[in-house]
Amino acid sequence: MANTVTLYGSINTLNAALVNVLNRGDLDYSGNDNVIVGISDGIFSTSGSVAINIKSVAKQAAELRARVQALRSAGVLNTIQAKNLLQPLQRLSSNGDPSTVEEFSVVEEFLAGVASFSIAP
């Protein structure tokens, strides 16, 4: 099912709005999709599309769990930190409760912050 969003404004305003676009599929959906952007100034118009791959929440949760466990094994996270990060991922994958998506995002943001850590040999 196609969804449409219409935005009006200057190029700077539209670029700022497009930076924050989030495509959230159904909870268990994964697969290919296209994002199509059309632009018109009232006289001329053009459009383009970008192919994207959407991962299901379960697949994303599994990938984040693996990252947490790898960071725990590497000593970047202690046991309590790892447990606190894994709990919302477990709740999300066990019951599919979309209310845990907010917690899921927090875990993802935290892991993005520690991605720059490296372990010295």
b/e 58-70 (16+ beta carbons within 10 angstroms → b): bebbeebbebbee
Residues 46 and 70 reside in one and the same domain: no
Residues 24 and 41 in one domain: yes
The model's pTM: 0.54
Which secondary structure element, helix H or strand E, spans residue 70, and what is its range?
Answer: helix 57-73
Residue 73: predicted pLDDT? 92
**One domain, residues 49 and 72:** no
Kindly state whether residues 61 and 46 are assigned to the same domain: no
- Taking the chain (121 residues) in consecutive chunks of 10 residues, what is each chunk's mean pLDDT? 74 82 71 83 87 80 87 90 83 58 64 53 39
pLDDT at 18: 81
Say what the pLDDT of residue 2 is.
64
Q: Which residue has the tokens 């447990």?
A: 83
Tell me whether residue 79 is in a domain: yes
Structural domain that includes position 46: 11-54
